[in-house]
Amino acid sequence: MNFEVIIGLEVHCELTTQSKMFSASPVTFGQAPNTKVNEVDLGMTGTMPVLNKTGVEYAVRVCHALNMEIDELLRFDRKNYYYSDLPKGFQITQDRFPIGRNGTMEIEVDGKKKTIEIERLHMEEDTAKQLHFDDHTLIDYNRSGIPLIEIVTKPNIRSGKEAAAYLEKLRSIFLYTKVSDAKMEEGSMRCDVNVSIRPFGSDKFGTRTEIKNLNSISNVQKAIEFEVSRQEKILLQGGKVLQETRRYDEGLKETVLMRSKGDAVDYKYYPEPNILPIRLDHQWVLDIKEALPEMPEERIKRYVEKYQLPKNDAKILVATKEISDYYDEAIRYTKEYKLVCNWLLGETMAYLNKSNTTIEAIKMIPKCLAEMVNCVVDETISSKQAKKVFDLMMETGKDPETIIEENHMKQISSVDEIRKIVCDVLDKNPQSIEDYKNGKDRAVGFLVGQIMKVTGGQANPGITNKVLIEELKSR
């Protein structure tokens, strides 16, 4: 029996506003526990929430990027439950009236395009962070109240690959719209996965399991693929899939049970009494859309159509916004679009990986990379010399012209000058001329080596070879 996989994703994203969603406490990461909180975050009696306008703006940015219908009447609700990480005993969220509905995102997997439908985007506040030990749990309230958006897809994702492609693109949207750093390893982007399977042709959903605590996009794909396989085995053996919450164990490379789930919890939502409905100014919403930066898909199109880059190269460039921004800055100073791309995706990426650093932290500025490429194209330096110039730019931050002058690397490209040097070398090596006339091609290599020795490697290789052959044939 063949099964159809049904997947829905729920993604939480922390917004990088300066202050929290309903209080003036700063949004931070990695600070000393319980040092970035105030009375509102701790749910003290008599405190009142005040809505963060920038948090709303960031949510609207993402709604626009996901082609969503935006509800311009903001309404908040209370989600009532008590956990130790929720000091008020309720969470301020949006239940029936999310700010965004009916979005779409186009992804590409194995060369095939697919539209992922997005059900809703709503705003809420984050909970505190729990630190579990063998015999006790500690709570850090610094995270309590940080602005969150939650984005829920419709169940039309059909594989782990599709889920990974969706998350990669969603993460790039967060980065390009500058609403979040979207670091899954730090919890600023979190994903819950709902997975079920059903026989092909059936219109009835199977029993779904929820997978939590996934800390990377690759683990999302691995968890889905294992869970699909697990559920298939159960059904093929005549068993029944149970409604459960599971987590992915990286060591075991499988999902393991956290807890069984019964019917949906009744959170007894009701309108938040301390935040009255707020009507957003229509022009303000439109202005946010107009101010959005160029999105990854638009950049890919520009790179391919305007700069003639291979599509795969363009995709790699835009995968990291900072790399793409660096490229855009560099090509302001050169027309050699493909060469700049090659240096970025080749030597520069290798340097970043080897040094375990980021493009923002390197000493070589985009203009210098472009100028070095220009030096190669106009034959001021050779491709071999360019690698040395590149290393020195990374090491010192100096511009290529200074490095070339300091290291006496400027190529000799004057035909007349090179011809004079070639003639001097030939005059001193008559045996090599005889060897060449006798068909010994290695004589050419020897003579080129002698010329490079005389010029300190600065003779233009192409011109040198051409002039050398001309002179050899004339003797």
Same domain, 315 and 264: no
pLDDT at 275: 96
Q: Clarify whether residues 169 and 141 are in a common domain.
A: yes
Tell whether 450 and 470 lie within a shared domain: yes
Q: Are residues 213 and 238 in the same domain?
A: yes
In a domain, 288, yes or no: no
What confidence tens digit (pLDDT) does each residue in 62-86 have? Answer: 999 999 999 999 999 999 988 889 9
pLDDT at 314: 97
143 in a structural domain:
yes
**Of 283, 316, 339, which residue is a domain's last?**
283
**Residue 274 sits in the same domain as residue 330:** no
Instruction: Tell whether 463 and 399 lie within a shared domain.
Output: no
- Note whether 396 and 444 are same-domain residues: no
* pLDDT (0 to 100) of residue 469: 87
pLDDT for position 438: 82
Same domain, yes or no: 322 and 273 = no
Q: Does a structural domain hold residue 197?
A: yes
Handedness of CA 400, 406, 409, 412 (dihedral sign): positive
Name the domain count of the chain: 3
Is 49 domain-assigned? yes
- Whether residue 30 is contained in a domain is answered as yes
Cα(365)–Cα(370) distance, rounded to whole angstroms?
9
Q: Is residue 369 domain-shared with residue 423, that is, in the same domain?
A: no
pTM of the model: 0.84
Which tokens go with 344? 């970025």
Range of the domain at 435: 415-474
User: Domain check: are 365 and 225 in the same one?
Assistant: no
What value, to the nearest 5°, has the Cα angle with vertex 382 and ends 378 and 386? Answer: 100
Distances (CA, A) of 386 to 344, 354, 367, 390: 14, 19, 15, 6
Q: Coil, strand, or helix at residue 23?
A: coil
Does the structure show a pLDDT above 80 at 457? no
**299 and 277 part of one domain:** no
Q: Report pLDDT digits (tens) over 346-393.
A: 999 999 999 999 999 999 999 999 999 999 998 888 888 899 999 999
- Does residue 267 lie within any of the structural domains? yes
